[in-house]
Amino acid sequence: MDENKADLFRLFWENSKLNKQTSLKLIKNLIEDARTFKTIPQIFYPSEDLFLKKPKDRLAYIMSQRKSTREFSSVPISEKQLGSLFYAFAQQNSTKRLLPSAGGKYPIEVFACLFNVKSKLNKKIVYYNADNHSLSIVTNCPEWNEIKEFFGLELEGEPAVFFIFVAIPERTVNKYGERGGRFILIETGLYAQSLGLRLANENIGGVISGALHDDEIKKLLKLQNTDALITLGFACGNFK
């Protein structure tokens, strides 16, 4: 990436990367936070001027079913369900995608480790082609126990699928500079939210991981010699 474009964003990213050493500090912070009071502070205004009517449509129902879980059963995800989950990021036609992107740059690419799927691609790491809703094999997928420390999650059981959202920063920052760094993070959240709704619709559990070990995951995806950024992970599987 051109060093004159969003170099401060790149510096922020380097300083916030995780590895075996820096993750220990994060774990310490998480333990300390767990001891604190759980009430979420809110902005307070002295009056509540309008009480809104809650919707009772299908989307409201799906949103109400979304929940995070760290416990997964050994029941595999079907190929049909896999297609439903990946559809969260699909391109509907040559001019329209399901998700928005600043300037139409679409810096987020989606990869996944398939640990327990009823498919010929089981035990593969795959890349999602949004234009035609297909998967391409990147490489073989190691067993979960061999690589789980790189994913930043303590789980009961193993996920059936672990989605990894990867940013190609120059697509956005070459146009928007430092501000484009914000857009990349915002769009990562959109991808995670869209997947969360698909999971709820399929009655599949999931949990987000923001503690991926950057360099190890890049090597796993064969991206170690690129400027790609590992932004977020999402472990998915059938409820235990």
Q: Report pLDDT for 1.
A: 43
Q: Report pLDDT for 4.
A: 60
Residue 207 main-chain phi, psi, to 5 deg: -150, 140
C-alpha–C-alpha distance, residues 206 and 188, integer Å: 16
Mean predicted confidence (pLDDT) in 91-101: 88
First to last CA, the chain: 44
Q: Report pLDDT for 165.
A: 98
pLDDT, tens digit (0-9, with 9 covering 90-100), for 158-204: 999 999 999 999 999 999 999 999 999 999 999 999 999 999 999 99
pLDDT, tens digit (0-9, with 9 covering 90-100), for 13-61: 999 999 888 888 877 777 777 777 677 777 888 888 899 999 999 999 9
Q: Which tokens sit at 154?
A: 């303590």
Q: What CATH class does 70-237 carry?
A: alpha beta
- Token pair 């690589």 is found at 147
Closest CA to 236 of 141, 115, 129: 115
